[in-house]
Amino acid sequence: MRELFFFQPDIVSALASGLWVSVQLIIPSALLGIIIGVTVGALRVYGNPLVKTIANGYVLVFRGFPLVVQLFIWYFGLPYIGIYLPAFVAAVIGFSLCSGAYQSEYVRGAFLSVKTGQTLAARALGFSQIKMILFVTLPQAFRRALPGCGNEIIYLIKYSSLAYMITCIELTGEGKIIASDSFRYTETFMVIGAIYLVLTSLAAWLLRRLEDRLHLPGFEQYG
């Protein structure tokens, strides 16, 4: 009973505002991540050698550096060359670029998985490169990439908690404040953990629904 009393209105509102910050972090990062991922993925498959090298280099670095290091670079590192980003902006940039690199892997794999016969047939019919990508490759690749890209967004929901480490106070950050003030670490973080579980489970459920809606015979789960 004592535990329940703990959740006074001000605690709940603090958690709520933290959750709101988390949502504000996740949605733009997810969208930007996908846009970057699709673009870079396409460039890595269809670009000329120079473009491919640059794109591959980007992916190598942004998948190779831990997310924590990347966040620190955007927030603590950029001031070194005179750029001062607010914590929130640094976080979104960090999440987007990192997620984009991972997304491009799934996108690239999906493009490569489309059988060469498809593109041969398209070219034989007179499709230009761009039209071929838009009307033949993309519809197939999209379905193949969906599971991987969807999972990447679920990861993003969890990793948004790292914004705390560059002083952006989202849900986890609020929790740490509340917990250290009240010494109720276990209760606080169990609630926070539960909230994240709801978020990730919801996202996973939506992803499955989407996969089912878009399912076509012959396009079984890839990877």
**Residues interacting with another protein, by CB under 8 A?**
61, 64-70, 72-73, 76-81, 158-162, 164-165, 172, 175-176, 179, 185-190, 192-193, 196-197, 200-201
Q: How far is the CB of 40 from another protein (least distance, A)?
A: 19
CB 43 within 8 A of CB 51: yes
CB nearer another protein, residue 140 or residue 188? 188
Q: How far is the CB of 122 from another protein (least distance, A)?
A: 31
> How far, in Å, CA of 38 to CA of 65, rounded?
21
CB nearer another protein, residue 23 or residue 179? 179
Nearest to 92 by CA among 80, 107, 75, 78: 75
The DSSP call for residue 10 is H
For the chain, the first-to-last Cα distance in angstroms comes to 48
> How far, in Å, CA of 168 to CA of 174, rounded?
10
CB nearer another protein, residue 66 or residue 86? 66
CB nearer another protein, residue 88 or residue 159? 159
Q: How far is the CB of 202 from another protein (least distance, A)?
A: 10
CB nearer another protein, residue 138 or residue 165? 165
- DSSP per-residue codes, 196-223: HHHHHHHHHHHHHHHHHHH--TT-----
Q: How far is the CB of 51 from another protein (least distance, A)?
A: 23
CB nearer another protein, residue 31 or residue 190? 190
Q: How far is the CB of 188 from another protein (least distance, A)?
A: 8
> How far, in Å, CA of 150 to CA of 86, rounded?
28
Backbone torsion region of residue 201, taken as left when φ is above 0, otherwise alpha when ψ lies between -120 and 50, otherwise beta: alpha
Q: How far is the CB of 191 from another protein (least distance, A)?
A: 10
Could you tell me which residues come within 8 angstroms of residue 136 by beta carbon, excluding any fewer than 6 positions away? 114, 118, 119, 122, 127
